[in-house]
Amino acid sequence: MNNVKALKTLLVTFYMSFSSLGSAGVDRIDPPNWWAGMAASDLQLMVYGNGMRGCQVSTNYPGVAVDSVTRGDSQNYLFINLTLAEAVKPGGVDLQFVCDGKVLHDASYPLLARREGSSERQGFSSKDVIYLVVPDRFANGDPSNDQVAGVIEGPDRNDDYGRHGGDIQGIIDHLDYLEALGVTQLWLTPVLENNYQHSTYHGYAISDLYAVDPRMGSNALYAELADKAAEKGIGIIHDLVLNHISIAHPWIGDIPEKDWVHHDRKFVRTNDRHEAIIDPHASASDKERMVTGWFDHHMPDLDQRNPLLARYLQQNAIWWVETAGLSGFRIDTWPYLHASFMPSFIDAVMSEYPNLNIVGEETDWNSRIVSYWQRGKKNADGFHAGVPSMMDFPLTHAIIDAFSEEESWNTGLSHLYRTLANDSVYADSSNLIVFADNHDRDRFLTAIDDQLDRFKMGIIFLMTTRGIPQIYYGTELAASHRGQRGDGIRRSDFPGGWAGDRKNAFTGERLSTDERDTLKFFKKLLNWRKTAPAIHDGRLVHFGPLEGIYAYFRIADNQTIMVLINNAKTLQSVDFQRFKEVIGASKMASNVLESQMIDLTKPFSIPKKSAVIFELQ
């Protein structure tokens, strides 16, 4: 059974379940369903409804036992702790509630069959290229959901910070474009409900952790996207927000327990002191303020030290993997989480999906800080967070500096060399996400003063260095916003995603020459990368920049790739004897993007401000 069919069955079952409980005051159970055959035998249900705190619950379902109940501080929350036998069968688990001495009708809680091979799903890896999309700004595939009853904010394309109408259907409609581009993973900024008055388009202030925003589509449509993307060899990375929720979340009006949200639901801003984790002189109050302060006034900060909340968040992540067929998570604002929660969360998810990948967002420029969180890192304080992958912000800053500065002995390409030289601090530098821009940063072309030649040099570096490359929607069109700033501008609409758009990148209509050439360049580069095992898994050997030339090699058992980058203002001659320790007996090399063979026994002339990729023969 595919994701969509399973979700349709779930919705019918769940509707019938709540219909039978209409008089009982049960309004909601999270998670809304579970699966037989999971690795963990425990399941926590959060039951919400009028006066549910005082109720008792029992079940007669074979293989399911009520282990205990926990009563929240609110009169309306009851937490049921179930134990599922290893051999429990899928079906409707009867839950009988007794409230105020009255025996109520049974609810039928859906326990589904897992998709075959679900636990063995493969996460994203260095074989992939990730494409980051802000769904509201990519394509409007269903204009009928732009304004939906029950949610506050409607569409306004003239407002940079308003909703523009992009949705999941718009992404489904253009999967052919993404496949042709050569991307193999799709990271969407959050698509869950953000029911607030304004600036909800980005998705990071979530008001329902179990529901896709109706202006984006539905849970079933999200699962359909994953199924259809998988048919094209594209995985889905879910943007997971564990640190905070929306001020509009129902928890804020009726808090399950008093310590559910930091500072008793009052706004106290974080100090953003990322470096406190490695600072031997840091005060305890600085460390505490970093993780207990709110990220913004409309994003209440969750206290993951509460064990009920911690389990809720763990199960929510697992639920989305099963429901939407995910290949991984990107975890927003990773260092703002409580350290005590981190390893337990990672262990809970990875015990269900050993091959899944999870990347944490740590925005600091310091490699020591980023590396602190990665799985396998041996920290001086003994702490082990366990997250497999991290966003490589230090290398992002080096990329911007390298391709915006003129070359000298300590500027330009030296930034790349020095940053990669710090890879010894990482437990696994091959499992870092490398990128030149994203939804929180200026467009790469903008950041390097709209120099298209330097832009292409940077993209070649991005696609051939160690790690997992990520590109931001529109970068393949040389998108820029020079002279303009702000998140809304960085997240501009993708051309052709709306009916009536003058320019259409999906069809090529009215694209400029630079846009057409850049798109062609990306397609060629990304699709070649799919075929290059040395780029996926080969070790990296690089030579310090000399006279404007940075050379590095990716070396695997059956393939060696050489990359030359010339950041000088003039054509440069390269003597390959400098690289003889890697080149060895090879005499010839082929340009992988052009029909050209070169003789490695002779000097090679590389034009100014250019990069070239060779495969040694």
> For position 361, which CATH number holds?
3.20.20.80
Contact 312, 257 (CB under 8 A): no
Per the residue annotation, which of 361, 423, 476, 615 is the catalytic one? 361
Asked whether residue 390 is domain-assigned, the answer is yes
pLDDT at 94 over 50: yes
Tell me the average pLDDT of the chain. 95
In a domain, 318, yes or no: yes
pLDDT tens across 408-462, in order? 999 999 999 999 999 999 999 999 999 999 999 999 999 999 999 999 999 999 9
Active site includes 156? no
- For residue 10, the one-letter residue type is L
Given a cut of 50, whether residue 160 has pLDDT beyond it is yes
CA 328 to chain centre: 7
106: DSSP letter:
P
Same domain, 163 and 109: no
Question: Is residue 120 in a domain?
Answer: no
Residue 7, pLDDT > 60, answer no
Torsion, Cα 238 242 244 246, to 10 degrees, reads: 40
What single-letter DSSP state applies at residue 430?
Answer: G
Asked if 268 and 413 sit in the same domain, the reply is: yes
Question: Quick one: pLDDT at residue 26?
Answer: 87
Same domain, 178 and 288: yes
pLDDT for 179: 98
Share of the chain above pLDDT 70, in %: 96
* Model confidence at 11: pLDDT above 70: no
Among 136, 301, 332, 401, the one annotated catalytic: 332
- Tell me whether residue 124 is in a domain: no
Per residue in 283-342, pLDDT tens? 999 999 999 999 999 999 999 999 999 999 999 999 999 999 999 999 999 999 999 999
Whether the CB-CB separation of 196 and 152 falls below 8 Å is answered with: yes
Which residue, 487, 505, 530, sits at the end of a domain? 530
Helix (H, G, I), strand (E, B) or coil at 322: helix
Same-domain pairing of 265 and 292 = yes
- Label residue 73 by pLDDT band (50, 70, 90): very high
438 within some domain? yes
- What average pLDDT does range 566-591 have in this prediction? 97
- Whether 174 and 195 map to the same domain: the answer is yes
Q: Which pLDDT tens digit goes with each residue over 499-524?
A: 999 999 999 999 999 999 999 999 99
Q: How many domains does the chain have?
A: 3
Residues 197 and 313 both lie in one domain: yes
Same domain, 202 and 108: no
Six-digit token pair at 214?
Answer: 């109706």
CATH number at residue 61: 2.60.40.10
Residue type present at position 131: Y
Q: Which structural domain range is residue 221 located in?
A: 130-530
pLDDT band per the 50, 70, 90 thresholds, residue 595? confident
Q: What is the pLDDT of residue 482?
A: 84
Specify burial of residue 537 (Cβ count, 10 A radius: 0-12, 13-18, 19+).
middle
Residue-wise DSSP of 181-237: HT--EEEEPP-EE--SSS--TT--S-SEEEEE-TTT--HHHHHHHHHHHHHTT-EEE
Lookup: tokens for 586: 């090879």
Could you give the angle at the alpha carbon of 606 between the alpha carbons of 603 and 609, nearest 5°? 155
Query: Does residue 291 belong to any structural domain of this protein?
Result: yes
Residue 21, pLDDT above cutoff 90: no
Q: Is the pTM of this model over 0.85?
A: yes
pLDDT of 199-246, one tens digit each?
999 999 999 999 999 999 999 999 999 999 999 999 999 999 999 999
* Closest to 455 in 3D by CA, of 471, 439, 435, 478: 478
Per-residue pLDDT band for 105 (boundaries 50, 70, 90) equals low
Residues found in the chain: 617
On the CB side of 84, how many CA atoms lie within 13 Å of its CA?
A: 22
pLDDT for 485 equals 84
Cβ burial of 15 (10 Å; 0-12, 13-18, 19+) is exposed
**Range 376-400 average pLDDT:** 97
Regarding whether 580 and 489 lie in a shared domain, the answer is no
Same domain as 455, residue 586: no
Q: Does 258 reside within a domain?
A: yes
Locate 4 and state its tokens. Answer: 């969509």
Interstrand relation of 185-188 and 235-240 (parallel, antiparallel or unpaired)? parallel
Q: Looking at the DSSP assignment, which residues form a beta bridge with residue 35?
A: 112
The reply to whether 125 falls in a domain is no
Pair (208, 304) in one structural domain: yes
In this structure, the answer to whether residues 194 and 275 fall within a common structural domain is: yes
Nearest C-alpha neighbor of 231 from the set 301, 325, 304, 363? 325
Report which secondary-structure segment, H or E, holds 581.
Answer: helix 580-583
Could you tell me which residues are beta bridge partners of residue 352?
Answer: none
- Choosing from 497, 530, 563, the residue where a domain stops is 530
Please calculate the CA angle 41-42-48 and round it to the nearest 5 degrees: 145
Type of residue found at 495: P
Please give the angle made by the CA atoms of 296, 299 and 302, to the nearest 5 degrees: 115
Rounded-to-integer distance, Cα 600 and Cα 590, Å: 10
C-alpha distances in Å from residue 188, one per residue of 166, 203, 296: 12, 10, 21
Residues 142 and 274 in one domain: yes
Nearest-angstrom CA–CA distance, 234 and 228: 9
Average pLDDT estimate for 149-157: 96
Domain termination residue (choose one: 66, 90, 114) = 114
Spatial distance between the Cα atoms of 220 and 389, rounded to a whole number of angstroms: 29
Q: Is 213 part of the annotated catalytic residue set?
A: no
- Strands 107-113 and 610-616 turn out to be unpaired
Give pLDDT, residue 8: 43
pLDDT recorded at residue 1: 40
Rg of the Cα atoms in the chain: 26
Residue 567 maps to which CATH number?
2.60.40.1180
